[in-house]
Amino acid sequence: MWYRLRGLRLSSLAAVCLVAMMGWQAVGRAEDRAGWMRQARWGVMTHFLADWIAGTGGEPMTVEKWNALIDGFDTEALAAQLEAAGAGYYLISIGQNSGYYLSPNATYDRFVGITPSKLSRRDLVADLAASLQKRNIKLLVYLPSGAPNGDGVAKQALAWQNGPVRNAEFQRKWEAIIREWSQRWGTRVAGWWFDGCYWPNTMYRTSEGPNFASFAAAARAGNPGSALAFNPGVLYRTISITPEDDYVAGEVDKPDQIQIKRTSDGKVDGVQVHMLSFLGTQWGRGTPRFTAEQAVTFTKAVTDAGGVVTWDTPIQRNGTFAQPFVDQLTAIGKALGRKP
């Protein structure tokens, strides 16, 4: 048989040799980037979003108010709560639909041109990484795969169209923005969770970039070992949508209904099994919707199968969790044997 590789016509033997020389693998991945997640077993997520905070407070968000909120985020207090609960990692939103982000990015500002910038002056991600690192807790970041839909100026400047559109111009700009953040944070950020990959065939499954490979390369620009997940939406079966996944995105609203299809090493199709759900009445907000016993049961159903669980937990304006959620997180950590 003959094979074509980057324009070359090769015999089967030559192709096998070349693939081996290039370090490719026909089955599996060269690196287990999410192996540390499997060891951690569980972690906590926070949606710290300007529009959600403004909605709760009943007042419009402004650049000044946003910077004041970011400046008042107590990373040391949050890290101490996570350590006491026994969480192995922490995932925080960089931003979402409002156009406000909790870390500066010169590339974004150059593309979008909004003055004063809606990106915070303080790099909260860098400061969180410093507080967490002292306690051996890893940090991951959340970012949508599209432009902020609530910011018309940014959407137009970034050439974003919402829907099953190729969005090549947007994606090149978005990757440049992601690359700046990744290169600045380096290994201080251990992974990314990309939301809203709703049209993978149209936007990313192409032979020419931008595609999943270029998207992943941008996120790993500062940390080649960064664990990535691309989220297609709520799916109760644990599946991966791209070979660039290191762990299943795993978004579910009802954690008791997750369907785990796995191999003996806690992976499905070579990707780490993972579930992401929320402890509040809705994502990022509300009071506990489960008892501590229920939260433990849902968690262990996944971890006992070799999977990993992330619990989105409402956070207060100062960057700490209210006591009812502290109690639940502590119960989960104790049940999994990670509490000091």
Residue that is written with structure tokens 């506990």 in the block: 288
Q: pLDDT value at position 337?
A: 86
Q: What is the dihedral of CA 8, 13, 14, 19, to 10 degrees?
A: 90
Environment class of 135 (CB within 10 Å of its CB; exposed 0-12, middle 13-18, buried 19+): middle
Q: Using one digit for the tens of pLDDT, what is the confidence trace for 63-119?
A: 999 999 999 999 999 999 999 999 999 999 999 999 999 999 999 999 999 999 999
Q: What is the pLDDT of residues 150-205, one digit of tens each?
A: 999 999 999 999 999 999 999 999 999 999 999 999 999 999 999 999 999 999 99
> Which has more confidence, 338 or 298?
298
Tokens describing residue 267: 């992976």
- The beta-strand segments (E) located in the chain are 2-5, 8-11, 42-46, 89-93, 138-144, 191-195, 227-230, 267-268, 271-272, 274-278, 308-312
User: Three-state SS for 126?
Assistant: helix
Q: What is the pLDDT of residues 21-53, one digit of tens each?
A: 333 333 345 589 999 999 999 999 999 999 999
Domains for the chain: give ranges and CATH numbers: 39-336 (3.20.20.80)
pLDDT > 70 fraction of the chain, expressed in percent and rounded = 90
Cβ–Cβ < 8 Å for 303, 42: yes
pLDDT single digits (tens) 281-321: 999 999 999 999 999 999 999 999 999 999 999 999 999 99
Q: Which two tokens stand for residue 290?
A: 């489960």
The gap between the terminal CA atoms of the chain, to the nearest Å, is 58
Looking at the chain, the whole-number percentage of residues with pLDDT higher than 90 is 86
User: What pLDDT, on a 0 to 100 scale, did the predictor assign at position 338?
Assistant: 63
Alpha helices in 96-167 (DSSP H): 106-112, 124-133, 152-157
What's residue 15's pLDDT?
Answer: 40
Please provide the average confidence, as pLDDT, over all residues in the chain.
91
- Smallest CA-to-CA distance from 278 within 300, 255, 250 is with 255
Q: Looking at residue 57, what is its pLDDT? A: 75
Q: What is the pLDDT of residue 9?
A: 42
